[in-house]
Structure 1
């Protein structure tokens, strides 16, 4: 019987190193961040949805700056071009449609 060798798979995002007591605090921070991003999205959506329906939008809630692109790969490339490889950038990607949903990662 021949063994099939698979290439080693690597994670895109590093595994979490949070201690179990830090998890609730981290989740609260994520929830607060999501609320801020959603508020900015709801303000921007009415003006952008007509001309960019179903496009992706990446929002920085601190500055309220955003990037838009019709494809997910395009928006991720624009984020990379604008912010580089830094881990300090925190953005949320939405879709310019009725719900803002573009899937889950």
Structure 2
């Protein structure tokens, strides 16, 4: 007599369920991100004219509470430099160029 092997049903889709955001949560998150950007942008604007001459297209991470910023050719290195000094603080990353945009859409 043969033993019946247990059959497994294959999982479909993602292992983790998707996060369902309400419109209020989306709006709140967007407002928080915009407020954080508005705190970082003046620091970038103050150092950008000088840094664009010597570090064109490098990355700059800004921690707005202290006003510290870190620059490097590599985006992840700049982020890691900021995390060493401010381990739990969020940072905003800009690219040192005319627009300050770090990525492409």
> What TM-score do the two structures reach when normalised by structure 2?
0.68
Describe how 1:70-89 pairs up with structure 2 within 5 A: 70-84=73-87, 86=88, 89=89
Is there any run of 5+ residues in structure 1 with no aligned partner, and where?
1-8
Is there any run of 5+ residues in structure 2 with no aligned partner, and where?
1-13
RMSD: 2.6
> What TM-score do the two structures reach when normalised by structure 1?
0.68
- Aligned residue for 1:53? 56
**Structure 1 residues 46 and 16, CA, compared in 2 at 3 Å: closer, same or farther?**
farther
**Structure 1 residues 16 and 47, CA, compared in 2 at 3 Å: closer, same or farther?**
farther
Q: How many residues align?
A: 90
Choose between structure 1 and 2: higher helix proportion.
2
Q: Distance in 2 between matches of 1:37 and 1:79?
A: 14
- Aligned residue for 1:5? none
